[in-house]
């Protein structure tokens, strides 16, 4: 079987972990998709940096070289900022490639454009890692809670801010000291502005708004406040009143509109997010049918984020397999022996991880042709055509019948 060929855009914390897990979990991934996963190319900014990858992997700062890799199937984007991610993913989609991204800033700005393009080109756009890191949030909202109307989402979406708020209370320190501790532990970037000023959580909330409501509120109407002004004094005063300050992203619908805000809020101990401490993220969902659901877990970090990306990859291929209706296809040859050989092979072979079912065979020749019909997916047909290039394959216009002259469409 041809492997699933992947290119990584970005090889930092996230990209390099995706590469590592693809190597270490090859067998599991094969069990799930029926195919090996192969990283064929990596886009970086600095080509001179040493990367610990196999020799055959193309490492380049020129995106066209990535797009020119033969038989590429999927692009995984883990770069920071709107560009070059947006342009790269647009070009990939236009080329018919599936795309997966962890980049919430790019999605907040350009998610709907990318979704439209993916729809037009009939490819998948997946983004589980972009909000809540390793928490299975987007899949839960978009696949498992589809019948529900979401009335309210309250979330702690920035692990750095949550760590700092927790640390200030636990160790009775100030904002600057706790930020330094977060940086030393690798929980905060050297430039922490996006995290502590609230923009990271804001971008994530906009991604959720797109997914749930197919639109976003006007950005200048959303109150966005970070935690820089939330010091020991405020946190202790809240504590004495039995409250805990959390950096909360809120999306609440009412009368056809939506309330959105991203700011520090004092929560009572009965609030579901009161107990979410440290670097964890958590999301409290309210659906009209399901009621209240709380999801909590690691909102960032190399492995949780890479985990979400690989779950997306598996979903693309499992989903494809499950939803493609098998086509009835006829393979014909003027060489009787050859036709019989194919028939036996098609029964023995396992294509794309699934057995092809050959359901009817020409016993005699029709107009000088010998052949058989089988039920196969598009992908399986491609494999058969690759394996036996001299085969003439035809898709039957209807389901296979015992009719001697089914309608044939050349493929």
Ligand X SMILES: NC(=O)c1ccc[n+]([C@@H]2O[C@H](COP(=O)([O-])OP(=O)(O)OC[C@H]3O[C@@H](n4cnc5c(N)ncnc54)[C@H](OP(=O)(O)O)[C@@H]3O)[C@@H](O)[C@H]2O)c1
The residues assigned a catalytic role are 204
* Least Å from the CB of residue 66 to ligand X: 10
Segment near ligand X (CB under 6 A); pick from 37-45, 335-343, 383-391, 393-401: 37-45
Q: Would you count residue 214 as binding ligand X (CB under 6 A)?
A: no
Q: Would you count residue 10 as binding ligand X (CB under 6 A)?
A: yes
Q: Select the residue interacting with ligand X from 29, 72, 99, 102 (CB under 6 A).
A: 102
Q: Select the residue interacting with ligand X from 3, 84, 136, 353 (CB under 6 A).
A: 84
Segment near ligand X (CB under 6 A); pick from 42-50, 66-74, 250-258, 268-276: 42-50
* C-alpha to C-alpha distance for 354 and 129, rounded to whole angstroms: 29
Q: Select the residue interacting with ligand X from 79, 141, 313, 352 (CB under 6 A).
A: 79
Cβ distance to ligand X smaller for residue 35 or 98 = 98
Q: Would you count residue 87 as binding ligand X (CB under 6 A)?
A: no
Q: Would you count residue 46 as binding ligand X (CB under 6 A)?
A: yes
Q: Select the residue interacting with ligand X from 44, 165, 212, 316 (CB under 6 A).
A: 44
Q: Would you count residue 36 as binding ligand X (CB under 6 A)?
A: no
* C-alpha to C-alpha distance for 327 and 73, rounded to whole angstroms: 22
Residue nearest to ligand X (CB): 12
* C-alpha to C-alpha distance for 269 and 411, rounded to whole angstroms: 64
Q: Would you count residue 50 as binding ligand X (CB under 6 A)?
A: no
Go through the chain and tell me how many residues it has: 411
* Least Å from the CB of residue 85 to ligand X: 7
Which conformational region is residue 297 in: left (phi greater than 0), alpha (psi within -120 to 50 degrees), or beta?
left
Strand order through the sheet with 223-224: 223-224, 257-268, 243-254, 150-156, 280-287, 291-298
SS3 27: helix
* Least Å from the CB of residue 157 to ligand X: 11
Q: Select the residue interacting with ligand X from 1, 2, 3, 13 (CB under 6 A).
A: 13
Under 8 Å between Cβ of 132 and 302: no
Q: How is residue 285 written in tokens?
A: 């969902």
Q: How is residue 199 written in tokens?
A: 């923009």
Cβ distance to ligand X smaller for residue 134 or 371 = 134
Under 8 Å between Cβ of 202 and 216: no
Residues in 149-208 at the binding interface with ligand X, rule: CB under 6 A: none
CA–chain centroid gap for 27, Å, is: 20
Biggest CA pair distance of the chain:
91
Under 8 Å between Cβ of 332 and 371: yes
Q: Would you count residue 89 as binding ligand X (CB under 6 A)?
A: no
Q: Select the residue interacting with ligand X from 18, 39, 43, 127 (CB under 6 A).
A: 43
DSSP state of 3: P
Q: Would you count residue 136 as binding ligand X (CB under 6 A)?
A: no
Q: Select the residue interacting with ligand X from 12, 96, 242, 278 (CB under 6 A).
A: 12
CA distances 111 to 13, 158, 214, 332, 372, Å, are 23, 20, 10, 46, 46
* Least Å from the CB of residue 102 to ligand X: 4
Residues 183-220, buried b or exposed e (16+ Cβ, 10 A)?
A: eeeebbeeebebbbbbbbbbbbbbbbbbbbeeebbeee
User: How many residues bind ligand X, per CB under 6 A?
Assistant: 24
Segment near ligand X (CB under 6 A); pick from 10-18, 120-128, 257-265, 380-388: 10-18
Residues in 273-332 at the binding interface with ligand X, rule: CB under 6 A: 300-301, 305
* C-alpha to C-alpha distance for 314 and 335, rounded to whole angstroms: 40
Q: Which helix (H) or strand (E) holds 26?
A: helix 26-33
Cβ distance to ligand X smaller for residue 34 or 132 = 132
Q: Would you count residue 133 as binding ligand X (CB under 6 A)?
A: yes
Q: Would you count residue 129 as binding ligand X (CB under 6 A)?
A: yes
Q: Select the residue interacting with ligand X from 33, 103, 230, 358 (CB under 6 A).
A: 103
Total Cβ atoms within 10 A of residue 251: 23
Q: How is residue 122 written in tokens?
A: 């009939």
Segment near ligand X (CB under 6 A); pick from 8-16, 141-149, 222-230, 273-281: 8-16
Closest alpha carbon to 161 in 306, 276, 295, 309: 276
**What is the contact surface with ligand X in residues (CB under 6 A)?**
10-15, 43-46, 49, 61, 78-80, 84, 102-104, 129, 133, 300-301, 305
């Amino acid at each position: 079987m041809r492997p699933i060929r992947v290119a990584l855009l970005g090889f930092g914390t996230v990209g390099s972990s995706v590469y590592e897990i693809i190597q270490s979990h090859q067998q599991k991934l094969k069990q799930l998709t029926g195919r090996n996963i192969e990283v064929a190319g990596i886009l970086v900014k600095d080509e001179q940096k040493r990367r610990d990858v196999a020799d055959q992997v193309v490492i380049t700062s020129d995106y066209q070289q990535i797009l020119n890799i033969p038989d590429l199937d999927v692009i995984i984007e883990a770069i920071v900022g709107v560009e070059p991610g947006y342009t790269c993913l647009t070009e990939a989609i236009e080329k018919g490639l599936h795309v997966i991204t962890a980049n919430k800033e790019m999605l907040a700005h350009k998610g709907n454009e990318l979704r439209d393009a993916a729809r037009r080109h009939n490819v998948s756009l997946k983004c589980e890692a972009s909000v809540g890191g390793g928490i299975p949030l987007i899949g839960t909202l978009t696949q498992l809670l589809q019948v529900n109307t979401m009335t309210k989402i309250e979330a702690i979406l920035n692990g750095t801010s949550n760590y700092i708020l927790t640390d200030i209370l636990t160790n009775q320190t100030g904002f600057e000291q706790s930020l330094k501790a977060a940086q030393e532990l690798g929980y905060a970037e050297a430039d922490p502005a996006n995290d502590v000023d609230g923009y990271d959580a804001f971008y994530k909330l906009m991604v959720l708004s797109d997914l749930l409501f197919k639109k976003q509120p006007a950005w200048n109407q959303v109150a966005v406040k970070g935690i820089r002004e939330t010091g020991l004094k405020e946190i202790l005063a809240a504590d004495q009143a039995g409250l805990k300050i959390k950096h909360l992203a809120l999306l609440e619908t009412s009368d056809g509109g939506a309330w959105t805000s991203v700011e520090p809020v004092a929560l009572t101990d009965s609030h579901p997010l009161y107990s979410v401490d440290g670097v964890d993220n958590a999301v409290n969902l309210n659906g009209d049918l399901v009621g209240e659901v709380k999801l909590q877990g690691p909102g960032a970090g190399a492995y949780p984020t890479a985990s979400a990306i690989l779950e997306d990859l598996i979903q693309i291929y499992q989903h494809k397999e499950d939803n493609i209706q098998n086509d009835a296809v006829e393979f014909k040859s003027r060489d009787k022996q050859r036709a019989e050989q194919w028939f036996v092979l098609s029964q023995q072979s396992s294509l794309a991880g699934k057995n092809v079912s050959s359901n009817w065979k020409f016993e005699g020749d029709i107009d000088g042709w010998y052949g058989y019909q089988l039920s196969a997916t598009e992908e399986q047909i491609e494999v058969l055509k690759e394996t036996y290039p001299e085969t003439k394959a035809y898709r039957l216009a209807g389901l296979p019948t015992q009719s001697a002259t089914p309608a044939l469409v050349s493929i």
